[in-house]
Structures are given as structure tokens and as C-alpha cells.
């Protein structure tokens, strides 16, 4: 049995205790947090619709017209006219034959993944997928092959090894922690070639990317190649609930097979009506999406100028601020709060040890000057907390050729990690750090990460592949090189 007291003490010592903070009033770009006014920089209310007057009014009217609760699950008595109306609107918006409402994004992913795979099948899941997908995999009792984040080569190796047992590839469209986008065209191609389904969780893509905010799948022009899109109503649409968009046959199947739809109360009428109003605003005012994207670009540019390693080529509103040790991230959060900015730290086990961060999330309703001030406050906060963004960047030796590179890992990194560097052609050095178990870095490596029931099979010839990349790098032909032997050591550079 878990000793709660002992476990709490342990978490306390590791700096990993969590607590909820209290927001008074509605979810705007500024809120009162634990009694103090702050700029809100960690909300998924990306388009600022949660407190939009039209959305609030729609929800209030729905409460008067249909009541507050649906009173039952979708299959019993919980499907009301308002649910059907939103399903039709979502299907049209996502250009699919059908849509099916679920109680939340978590429930939708759990329900879809577990309905589309069964024991004996193999699900291929990106290692950065959201917990909802991970739990859907577990509920399916299928074997799970976790491919390295965004690594289509690794995925293809797994698909080949599965020898026809593959059931589906599942990925976030926009990854919730890093804000990066899945390699959707490649995933579509692999799904078609290996005859497996492709499910994309658009929780953070809806309203932030793509024509009219239709998501990462639409932005990549991959709508025809994706079998099921899962979207949350709780983020850019500012409400609560979720949907699945797919063809009619799939919707009929999921209606009878998705346990989280069958065994859970239907979303409440005010939440559904609020999402309907938000969807109308998104369709009528696509400039909200442009504003969101330009706000995100501004914050990235400001933080990058301050020395932070923020992925400037990304366009999503999620901006991770890497800080390393959990105490540094927690302290930075506190110091930022003192300066009137609220951004939530992400700590292990949500992120790998040594990669604690503040996950910043921009909203369309932030003003440019608020974001500039926030970048300044965050830089001061991180510096006061012991992080040295400018020095860290300066510590990276200038490349001696366009491809040459070197990296120092954080001294406090408790595990060996892999780093990739590349030059963007304009003398700008980008650094991306990724977690990796020491064995994977140093030796022949295995296929996939230990996680649930991994696909059995021979180890992937990772060392050979990485070796050839390193050789190419030395010859000045490859973009990235990385070799890490132990935390705190610096290893590679080629000229």
C-alpha cells in the first residue's frame, strides 16, 4: 500500500509537490490569482473565447432553455438537440461526414484509442503523446510501440517489425508540452503503406493552426489521410467537452464501442452552447488565429533575444522555456509571479528529469506590450532563480563551419541526454535537448522506450544509424551531431 505521508515527504524533498492556485473571476488575459492580479501566460484559452460576451451569453441562454446537466450518457437520455447541432457544425467545420461529442478531450482519446485496438494488435504512439492517449493505449490492452518523438524512421522500423499486427498510429497534432507539430505528411504516408489507421489529437491544433484554425492536419494538407481527428472544446473554443470527427461508419462504430462515451454523462448544454458560439466566432473572425500566431512569434522573438532556447521556427502558441532543474523552474515561477506574470512550471514526471520548464501559452487577447513586458519579467525571474539564459547561449562555442557544433549539458541533468544542434544558415545556433536513457545513447540501443507492453523484436540498429550521422557531420554533410556520455559532459563538434 502507498504510504501517503512518506510519499508526500519524498515529493517535497524533490521539489515536486503540486498545488492548485485559485483564479477569481473569469479566464481573461489577466486574472486575479490567489488574490493578486497577474498576466495569465499558461492558459489554453488561446483565442480568448472563454470569457467572450457572446460565448457567455450563449451558455447562459442554454442553461435557461435546456437546463444545466444532460442527465445521462449519450446512449441513454443525454443526447439533446444542442448536442446534435454542435456535432453537425463540427463535422462541417472539420470537413468530415460526422462528429461525435464526448465529455472531455481526455475521455475522447481514451475512448477512441481503446475502441480501435484490442489485445494482439499494436498501437504506435509518439513518446510525447498526451496522457489521454497513453491511458487509451493501456485500456485497449494492445501492445504499444512508443516511437521516439517525431521520429518517422523509428516508427517505420516498428511498423515493419509488427508484421501485420499494426492497428493504428496515434499522435498529437500539436504536442502539448513542446508546442511542436507532428510530421503529419510522413505519418499519413506510413499509415497508408502499412495499412494502419491514423488518429490525430488536435487538442492544441484546433483554433491555433491551419486555414480558418482547422488545425495542424488541415495546415499540413493531410485531411484525407487521417481517419479520426480528436478535438477538445476546452482549449481554443473556451468551453468544456470534446469531439471526434470522422466518417459516418467510424462514428457509428465509436458510438457503440467507445467506453468513455457509453459510460459517462454527456457534456452539459451550457458547455455545448458555449462551444457552438465560440465556433461561430472562429468562423466569422479568422483573424483571431492570425493574432494568436503573431503574438506567439513576438514572445518567441523576445525570449530568444534574451538568450533563451525557444524554437523560433514553431508557430504554435505553446512556448516552452527550458530551465533544467525542478527547483529552478519552481523558483522562476515564483519570481515571475512577484513580477505579475503567471506561467506554470512543468516538472517530472510530466517531463523528463532535468528538463523542467515553464510552459508558456500565448493568447490572442494578450496585447503586444503585455507580451514584451512578460518576456522581460520572465528573463529577470529566471536570472533571479539562478538560470543564466544569456550565459548558456554564450557558452555554446561558435561553430567553426556551418555544420560544426558543440553542446554542454546541464550540470544538474540527472540522466544523460541527447542534444541536437543545427545552424539555421544565418549564424543562429539552435539547440534542442531530448531525453534519452544512457543505454540508448551509448550502445546498440533497443526499439522503443520501456513503456507498457513494448513490441518484442530485435533491437533497432540505432548505433549504426547515429554513427553514420556523426560521420556525415564530421564530413560537414549532416545537420546534427550528438554524443553524450554522461551528464555534464560536453561531447561533439566537428569542423
Ligand X SMILES: Cc1ncc(COP(=O)(O)O)c(C=O)c1O
Judged by the rule CB under 6 A, the positions of this chain that interact with ligand X are 104-106, 109, 130, 132, 172, 176, 201, 203-204, 232, 234, 242
Of 106 and 422, the one with the shorter C-beta distance to ligand X is 106
Tell me how far, at minimum, the Cβ of 176 lies from ligand X, in Å. Answer: 3
Tally of residues, the chain: 495
Do residues 435 and 428 lie in contact, with contact meaning Cβ atoms separated by under 8 Å?
A: no
Of 292 and 385, the one with the shorter C-beta distance to ligand X is 292
Tell me how far, at minimum, the Cβ of 421 lies from ligand X, in Å. Answer: 28
Tell me how far, at minimum, the Cβ of 190 lies from ligand X, in Å. Answer: 21
Of 176 and 208, the one with the shorter C-beta distance to ligand X is 176
Angle between helices 287-305 and 368-384 (to 10 degrees): 30
Of 264 and 332, the one with the shorter C-beta distance to ligand X is 264
Of 83 and 417, the one with the shorter C-beta distance to ligand X is 83
Between CA 16 and CA 459 the distance in angstroms is: 34
The CA distances from residue 1 to 4, 11, 14, in Å, are: 9, 17, 21
Tell me how far, at minimum, the Cβ of 200 lies from ligand X, in Å. Answer: 10
Between CA 375 and CA 361 the distance in angstroms is: 12
Between CA 464 and CA 408 the distance in angstroms is: 24
Q: Among all residues, whose Cβ is closest to ligand X?
A: 105
Of 172 and 309, the one with the shorter C-beta distance to ligand X is 172
CB atoms inside a 10 Å sphere around CB 211? 11
CB atoms inside a 10 Å sphere around CB 280? 14
Between CA 164 and CA 168 the distance in angstroms is: 11
Tell me how far, at minimum, the Cβ of 232 lies from ligand X, in Å. Answer: 4
Between CA 109 and CA 100 the distance in angstroms is: 12
Cα 86–chain centre separation? 25
CB-based burial label for 412 (10 Å; 0-12, 13-18, 19+): middle
Annotate 29-69 with DSSP letters as a single string. Answer: SEEEETTEEEEE-B-S-TTS-TT-HHHHHHHHHHHHHH-S-
Between CA 49 and CA 334 the distance in angstroms is: 28
Of 140 and 176, the one with the shorter C-beta distance to ligand X is 176
Tell me how far, at minimum, the Cβ of 266 lies from ligand X, in Å. Answer: 14
Cα dihedral 355, 462, 130, 421 sign: positive
Do residues 403 and 477 lie in contact, with contact meaning Cβ atoms separated by under 8 Å?
A: yes
Contacts of 133 (CB under 8 A, 6+ apart): 109, 113, 125, 170, 172, 201
Return the SS3 of 432. Answer: strand
Tell me how far, at minimum, the Cβ of 44 lies from ligand X, in Å. Answer: 7
- Give the containing element (helix H, strand E) for 101: strand 98-102
Tell me how far, at minimum, the Cβ of 230 lies from ligand X, in Å. Answer: 7
Tell me how far, at minimum, the Cβ of 108 lies from ligand X, in Å. Answer: 8
Of 70 and 406, the one with the shorter C-beta distance to ligand X is 70
Contacts of 266 (CB under 8 A, 6+ apart): 70, 72, 73, 74, 78, 79, 80, 83, 101, 103
Of 50 and 325, the one with the shorter C-beta distance to ligand X is 50
Of 102 and 157, the one with the shorter C-beta distance to ligand X is 102
Of 103 and 448, the one with the shorter C-beta distance to ligand X is 103
Do residues 421 and 429 lie in contact, with contact meaning Cβ atoms separated by under 8 Å?
A: yes
Of 232 and 295, the one with the shorter C-beta distance to ligand X is 232
Tell me how far, at minimum, the Cβ of 202 lies from ligand X, in Å. Answer: 8
Of 104 and 379, the one with the shorter C-beta distance to ligand X is 104
Tell me how far, at minimum, the Cβ of 133 lies from ligand X, in Å. Answer: 7
Q: In what order do the strands lie in the sheet with 98-102?
A: 98-102, 242-246, 228-232, 197-201, 166-172, 122-126, 143-147
Tell me how far, at minimum, the Cβ of 173 lies from ligand X, in Å. Answer: 8
Tell me how far, at minimum, the Cβ of 103 lies from ligand X, in Å. Answer: 8
Amino acid at each position: 500500500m502507498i504510504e501517503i505521508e512518506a510519499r508526500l515527504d519524498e515529493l517535497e524533498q524533490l521539489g515536486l509537490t503540486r498545488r492548485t492556485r485559485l483564479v477569481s473571476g473569469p479566464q481573461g488575459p489577466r486574472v486575479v490569482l490567489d488574490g493578486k492580479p497577474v498576466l495569465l501566460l499558461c492558459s489554453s484559452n488561446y483565442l480568448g473565447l472563454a470569457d467572450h460576451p457572446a460565448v457567455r451569453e450563449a451558455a447562459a441562454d442554454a442553461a435557461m432553455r435546456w437546463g444545466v446537466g444532460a442527465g445521462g450518457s449519450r446512449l441513454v437520455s443525454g443526447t439533446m438537440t444542442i448536442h446534435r447541432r454542435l456535432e453537425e457544425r463540427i463535422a462541417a467545420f472539420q470537413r468530415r461526414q460526422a462528429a461525435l461529442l464526448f465529455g472531455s478531450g481526455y475521455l475522447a482519446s481514451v475512448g477512441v484509442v481503446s475502441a480501435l485496438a484490442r489485445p494482439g494488435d499494436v498501437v504506435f504512439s509518439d513518446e510525447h503523446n498526451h496522457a489521454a492517449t497513453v491511458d487509451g493505449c493501456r485500456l485497449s490492452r494492445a501492445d504499444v510501440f512508443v516511437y521516439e518523438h517525431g521520429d518517422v524512421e523509428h516508427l517505420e522500423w516498428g511498423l515493419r517489425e509488427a508484421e501485420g499486427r499494426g492497428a493504428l498510429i496515434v499522435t498529437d497534432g500539436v504536442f502539448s508540452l513542446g508546442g511542436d507539430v507532428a510530421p503529419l505528411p510522413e505519418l499519413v504516408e506510413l499509415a497508408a503503406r502499412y495499412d494502419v489507421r491514423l488518429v490525430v489529437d488536435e487538442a492544441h491544433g484546433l483554433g491555433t493552426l491551419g486555414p480558418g484554425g482547422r488545425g495542424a492536419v488541415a495546415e499540413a494538407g493531410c485531411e484525407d489521410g487521417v481517419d479520426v481527428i480528436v478535438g477538445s472544446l476546452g482549449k481554443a473554443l473556451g468551453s468544456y467537452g470534446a469531439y471526434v470527427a470522422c466518417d459516418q461508419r467510424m462514428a457509428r462504430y465509436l458510438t457503440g464501442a467507445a467506453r468513455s462515451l457509453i459510460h459517462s454523462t454527456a457534456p452539459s448544454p451550457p458547455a455545448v452552447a458555449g462551444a457552438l458560439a465560440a465556433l461561430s466566432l472562429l468562423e466569422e473572425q479568422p483573424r483571431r488565429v492570425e493574432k494568436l500566431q503573431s503574438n506567439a512569434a513576438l514572445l518567441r522573438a523576445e525570449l530568444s533575444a534574451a538568450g533563451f532556447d525557444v524554437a523560433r521556427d514553431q508557430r504554435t502558441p505553446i512556448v516552452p522555456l527550458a530551465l533544467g532543474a525542478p527547483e529552478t523552474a519552481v523558483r522562476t515561477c515564483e519570481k515571475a509571479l512577484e513580477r505579475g506574470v503567471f506561467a506554470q512550471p512543468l516538472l517530472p514526471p510530466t517531463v523528463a528529469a532535468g528538463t523542467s520548464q515553464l510552459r508558456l501559452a500565448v493568447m490572442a487577447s494578450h496585447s503586444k506590450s503585455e507580451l514584451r513586458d512578460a518576456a522581460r519579467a520572465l528573463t529577470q525571474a529566471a536570472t533571479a532563480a539562478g538560470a543564466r539564459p544569456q550565459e548558456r547561449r554564450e557558452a555554446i562555442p561558435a561553430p567553426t563551419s556551418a555544420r560544426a557544433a558543440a553542446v554542454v549539458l546541464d550540470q544538474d541533468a540527472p540522466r544523460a541526454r541527447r542534444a541536437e544542434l543545427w545552424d539555421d544558415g544565418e549564424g543562429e545556433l539552435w539547440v534542442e535537448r531530448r531525453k534519452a536513457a544512457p543505454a540508448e545513447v551509448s550502445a546498440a540501443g533497443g526499439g522503443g522506450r520501456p513503456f507498457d507492453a513494448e513490441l518484442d523484436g530485435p533491437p533497432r540498429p540505432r548505433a549504426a544509424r547515429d554513427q553514420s550521422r556523426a560521420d556525415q557531420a564530421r564530413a560537414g554533410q549532416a545537420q546534427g551531431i550528438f554524443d553524450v556520455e554522461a551528464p555534464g559532459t560536453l561531447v561533439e563538434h566537428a569542423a
